Structure 1
Amino acid sequence: MTEDQLSAVRRGLPEGTRAGETVIGSPTGVGRAGRTGQDMDRGSRDELLGRLAEAVGSVTVAHPTRVAVDGPPAAGKTTLADELAVVLRSQGRDVIRATIDDFLFPRAQRYPRGEYSAEGCYFDTHDHEALHRVLLDPLGPGGDRRFQPAVYDRTADTVLSPPVTTAAVDAVLVFDGVFLMRPELVERWDLRVFVSTALEKTVDRAVIRERRVSSRADVERRWRERYIPAQQFYFATVRPTDHVDIIVHNDEPRQPVWAPRTH
């Protein structure tokens, strides 16, 4: 990704753009539990989780079901994935909960282009080879179901090697993270969910989330120079919402709007 490409992406997706909005539009005007021409639903958080659990249950594969919960930073995907895992466990499913944050490269390897590089955010951050090798492929078609849920401790900035575990054949992997529909990963998922929110809203959420460790100025700089341009590049080149099964609009987490996608 060149600086010219980044500039073009910024021009094509104006400030305030919703992640996914250029593909499916705004949920404005959707009535509670009602339908629109875009086939969207609005309901309570519990209703959304019930729909997602139904979608997981509808997947028929001969190996553990691998669920991706994609979305920009601070969109609410980790919280949604955690809540979905609780619901699935209450239904008797064996759930493996994992996250892209446990498949980062070590810090010294993540920032060769600088701390604020959008290009580095997209290309240098995540160890996809390890993710395939220890988690997604063992749980996929022809896999032996012997997996490891992590390879990296972000807090300590150290490599991990947790014990190998054997998953039940009907287990569910609930995996959250950024850039999960990129070409290296998109075919590894059996159900794909995208959590969408206005990119400007992610900045406000990040400031609140990181206020104890970072100043507002530092957070805003990281978002505006690194994270938002990387997401804009992802949307311009990969068009992730074209590949997912369900899109969740999460501007109002207690009153979410969601839309099943057909391919």
Structure 2
Amino acid sequence: MRIRPVTPARLVDELAGRITATPAAGFVRVGFDGADSAEPGALADALVDPLRVLGRPAVRVDLADFLRPASVRLELGRNNPDSFYERWYDLAALSREVLGPLAPGGSGRIVTTFWNPDTDRSSRPSYVDVPTGGVLLLSGPLLQGAGLDLDLVVHCAQSPAALARRTREELRWTLPAFDRYRDEVDPASLADVVVRVDDPGHPALVEA
């Protein structure tokens, strides 16, 4: 294994090439797995325009828009790391409304949001028609080990020290959940691409 430093722009170029080369029937579903401090959403956002230039229209979905109701998320308290790990996100809705329609033979008709945490109600989204050849860029934490049907997973990895250092104070209660994720799932071993982002401004690709 070697760690190859790359610039953020080079990383985007290499990932765009990897995504366009990924075999899939109709659509490509890409997950960007990482804690908020690893900025998986920013990396996914940066790929939208390059993919479009390559003739692959991209649609962004953030796992934070697929929360479960507060009565489920907060049943064990507002800052319970086991709740965050096990019941925070509505993965069934994500599979039904996004990943399933983009599976081989799917309709391509998806929603990009599902739940509004401010109202604790459905966000009542309009449907989006993803054209054939389109790419889903899904970002969020804890994406692996839950049976999500993705064609390519990019894991934004951080050392425990970097994760603790970069996590915002209001989210530090989630740190035990990421320890559990690392121990139980070993996300770096499952991902198709691993990017070290102890400092997101200076990423590095982990290569076998």
TM-score by length of 1: 0.74
Q: Which secondary structure state, in structure 2, belongs to the residue aligned with residue 143 of structure 1?
A: coil
State yes or no: 1:82 paired with 2:45: yes
1:76-97 Cα distance to aligned partner (Å, 9 max, x none): 1111111122321233321110
Q: How does 1:98-247 map to 2 (within 5 A)?
A: 98-185=61-148, 188-207=149-168, 216=169, 219=170, 222-223=171-172, 226-247=173-194
Sequence identity (%): 27
Amino acid at match of 2:198: D
- What CA distance in whole angstroms lies between the structure 2 residues aligned with 1:67 and 1:260? 19
Please list every run of 5 or more consecutive structure 2 residues that lacks an aligned counterpart in the other structure: none
TM-score by length of 2: 0.92
Displacement after TM superposition at 1:240 (Å): 1.3
Larger strand proportion of the pair: 2
- What CA distance in whole angstroms lies between the structure 2 residues aligned with 1:102 and 1:179? 14
CA RMSD of aligned residues (A): 1.7
Displacement after TM superposition at 1:203 (Å): 4.1
Higher relative contact order (CA 8 A, sep 6+): 2
The structure-2 alpha-carbon separation of the partners of 1:44 and 1:168, relative to structure 1 and needing over 3 Å to count, comes to same
Correspondence for 1:256 among 194, 203, 207: 203
Displacement after TM superposition at 1:176 (Å): 0.3
Highest Rg: 1 or 2? 1
Displacement after TM superposition at 1:205 (Å): 3.4
Contact 1:128 1:184 in 2 (8 A): no
Please list every run of 5 or more consecutive structure 1 residues that lacks an aligned counterpart in the other structure: 1-37, 208-215
1:111-130 Cα distance to aligned partner (Å, 9 max, x none): 11112211111112011111
Amino acid at match of 1:183: A
- What CA distance in whole angstroms lies between the structure 2 residues aligned with 1:130 and 1:242? 26
Instruction: State how many pairs are aligned.
Output: 208
- What CA distance in whole angstroms lies between the structure 2 residues aligned with 1:133 and 1:231? 26
Q: Which secondary structure state, in structure 2, belongs to the residue aligned with residue 129 of structure 1?
A: helix
Displacement after TM superposition at 1:198 (Å): 2.9
Displacement after TM superposition at 1:156 (Å): 4.0
1:179-225 Cα distance to aligned partner (Å, 9 max, x none): 1112331xx11111000123343444343xxxxxxxx5xx2xx41xx
The structure-2 alpha-carbon separation of the partners of 1:113 and 1:198, relative to structure 1 and needing over 3 Å to count, comes to same
Displacement after TM superposition at 1:48 (Å): 0.7
Contact 2:163 2:198 in 1 (8 A): no
Q: Which secondary structure state, in structure 2, belongs to the residue aligned with residue 74 of structure 1?
A: helix
Q: Which secondary structure state, in structure 1, belongs to the residue aligned with residue 107 of structure 2?
A: coil
- What CA distance in whole angstroms lies between the structure 1 residues aligned with 2:107 and 2:207? 31
After TM superposition, the structure 1 stretch with the greater mean CA deviation from structure 2, 67-76 or 171-180, is 67-76
